[in-house]
Amino acid sequence: MSHPQTISKHSDTLQTSSDTGIDSVRNPPKPFSSNAQFRKDLTVLIWRFFLTFLSLILLVMTLLGFSKLKRLTKWEQRSFNTISILATGMATLGIGSLLGYLGSMLRWPLLARSMHEMRDVDLILGMAPPTRSLRLIKRHIRECRISLTTFIVAAYLITNILGRLSVALFGLAFNLKDEKGIEYPILATNWTSASWTRNIDLFSDVPGAPHEFEIVEDWAFGHIVNNTYPEIGDISPHLRPDLDVSNTTLEIGTDTVEYWYDLKDFKENNIRPANHTAHSAVNCSLIQVEQGQYWRWNKWNRTGPFNWGEEYSNDVVARTLWASNDAFGGGNNSTPPVEYPHWVSFTGSSNESHLPSQIYILSDSVAWECWPTLSETLASKSPQPIQPSERVFNSRSLYRMLGVSGGDYHLGPGTEVFIYKDSINNSPAEAAIDTLGVICAQNFTMPVNETVWNSYRLWVAGVVARLPILAIVHANVALPRIARSPHPNQIAPTAYTYKTLEITWLRVALIAASITIGQLLAIMAVLYYCNGIYTRDDSHLATAELLKTVITRFDGGKLMTGEELAVSLDDVLRAPVSYGTREGQDGGPPEVDLASGLDAKFPPFPPRQRF
């Protein structure tokens, strides 16, 4: 096969029918290169090898892709089964096609190197399917004619079967495995589980209600980043670092200080955003207090004086100052003899529309009037507010957390309120508001420097705005939780079973390498065994042309079975046949044939010789 040469196919003289009387005609020999069929065989083998190789690559890529999925859904399982079956089916098809073609090539050296009866010739020519190879082996064993041909066909049969089944070994390398997992529900803080979240009652026995002030102290613990006392004078440089709260955002404007905190949900031990943000914004102004009178400072403009000494007044500031003075026994028209600064808020109005929302920080000579706003949005800075039905917090409850004592007072005719007062310096929540005591204790000289005044005003606003945020931050973690699902009480994790792809990559590599190397070895072995033999393609017409020499010696066999025809031909020929060459006519190139007495050598022709 390694020498280019021109070979002519043997063409018998066409016999004319006796009825028609047509003379015999001689077909001219058709030249061809001895290497042409070898190149064709090699091309076919390469294509069939690459079909298997690409199928194995597809299978490995499928395993790699699906192995990265930790949990396989039903459709992912179906997709994996479909692609893996398709890839293994294509690989099996490629291996079977390759081995079948190798078997068709193997026929010719077997026929050339031994003499065979026509019954064996028939089985050898059709040995590519495993059943035909098995029939040949069984016949040789049954007739005690075991030879080298028997062993070669047996080796091919074993290779053919094992090669086709080798792809099934991938079933030992991967598996869809059942794994048990635990599904943790997404938990949200149950904001209605404690009474202080909507309607604070410090003396309530309801489960979850705060008792005394331990829980208030906890709100501030660990969240205030740097709770230091401000220095006397301009404290503007200290506003942001000293008012900062961990896990919140602080924004200090010209007149307003605002905190916002993104509420958290929980899943197992992980924290995730709840897409719900609480905003606390406060602006404060200074009130100058003297005996029976007070003045307002706003935008560095002083207005007043205003009287606060009347018992019944609808002026909120005047009523607050009078109530504080009354509670601590200072008498009318005198500066409230309050030893320590106080935090004052309002609740329990008989007319909710007239309930003041202000927070007051009272001292002996000054007071701070603060206007708090607690709002909720869908995100940190989203302009879209939460619908009223979805609001979580009650701003009045959260801003009056420090109230511990107080009494009923009237804000004008028909409006009764309950004024809460709490000493700042002795409050158990001192960690949250203790800097207010330092500011209120300073000896302000009027008029106050504008820069100093503005920095203190923002500091007080920051401390007031910080108080509800501290409570929310702590409660978000400390309060009981409910599940974000149709069944809020199902907060326990749920066990479930899921599929995962288990792969032993060493086995995958060994199996893929074994199949690939096995194909290459089979190709090289057959090519080596066919060396020097003029192989024919697996066409039935080409085989029929080759058999014409012996078939034409027997008439009446068109309706016989293959077995009957082979027996009849053996009786007629009375000699075994082989595949070989004979000398060409008139000195022409040698002819190939299947007959008796042929030369088993397939000589190379001199190069450049033309025929």
Residue 261 CA to chain centroid, in angstroms? Answer: 30
pLDDT computed for residue 383 by the predictor? 64
Tell me the domain boundaries of the chain: 42-179+500-578+591-595, 189-483
Report how far residue 456's alpha carbon sits from residue 287's, in angstroms, rounded to the nearest whole number: 13
Nearest in space to 532 (alpha carbons), one of 11, 113, 29: 113
- Residues whose CB is less than 8 angstroms from the CB of residue 552 and which lie 6 or more positions away in sequence, other chains included: 12, 15
Report how far residue 609's alpha carbon sits from residue 611's, in angstroms, rounded to the nearest whole number: 7
Report how far residue 56's alpha carbon sits from residue 70's, in angstroms, rounded to the nearest whole number: 23
pLDDT computed for residue 4 by the predictor? 38
Q: How far apart are the first and last CA of the chain?
A: 18
Report how far residue 303's alpha carbon sits from residue 300's, in angstroms, rounded to the nearest whole number: 10
Q: What is the 3-state secondary structure (H, E, C) of 104-148?
A: HHHHHHHHHCCCECHHHHHHHHCCCCHHHHHHHHHHHHHCCCCCH
Residues 558, 545 contacting (CB under 8 angstroms) = no
pLDDT computed for residue 19 by the predictor? 43
Angle formed at CA 103 by CA 568 and CA 594, multiple of 5 degrees: 40
Report how far residue 355's alpha carbon sits from residue 115's, in angstroms, rounded to the nearest whole number: 119
pLDDT computed for residue 96 by the predictor? 93
Give 403's DSSP letter.
-
User: How is residue 556 written in tokens?
Assistant: 């009446």
Residues 118, 183 contacting (CB under 8 angstroms) = no
pLDDT computed for residue 223 by the predictor? 45
Question: Over the Cα atoms of the chain, what is R_g?
Answer: 51
Using the Cα atoms of residue 111, residue 114, residue 120 and residue 124 in order, give the sign of their dihedral: negative
- Place 396 in a pLDDT band, splitting at 50, 70 and 90: low
Helices (H), 143-192: 148-165
User: How is residue 209 written in tokens?
Assistant: 């209600």
Nearest in space to 341 (alpha carbons), one of 409, 433, 235: 433
pLDDT at 280 over 80: yes
| pLDDT (tens digit per residue) in 520-546 | 999 999 999 988 888 887 788 888 888
User: How is residue 83 written in tokens?
Assistant: 């692609």
Report how far residue 182's alpha carbon sits from residue 520's, in angstroms, rounded to the nearest whole number: 49
Helices 540-551 and 562-573 sit at what angle, rounded to 10 degrees? 40
Q: Looking at residues 580-586, what average pLDDT do you find?
A: 78
User: How is residue 145 written in tokens?
Assistant: 């004619």
For residue 316, report the phi and psi dihedrals to the nearest 5 degrees: -60, -45
| pLDDT (tens digit per residue) in 173-218 | 999 888 888 888 888 888 776 544 433 444 444 444 344 333 334 4
Q: In the predicted model, what is the mean pLDDT of the chain?
A: 75
pLDDT at 432 over 70: no
pLDDT at 505 over 70: yes
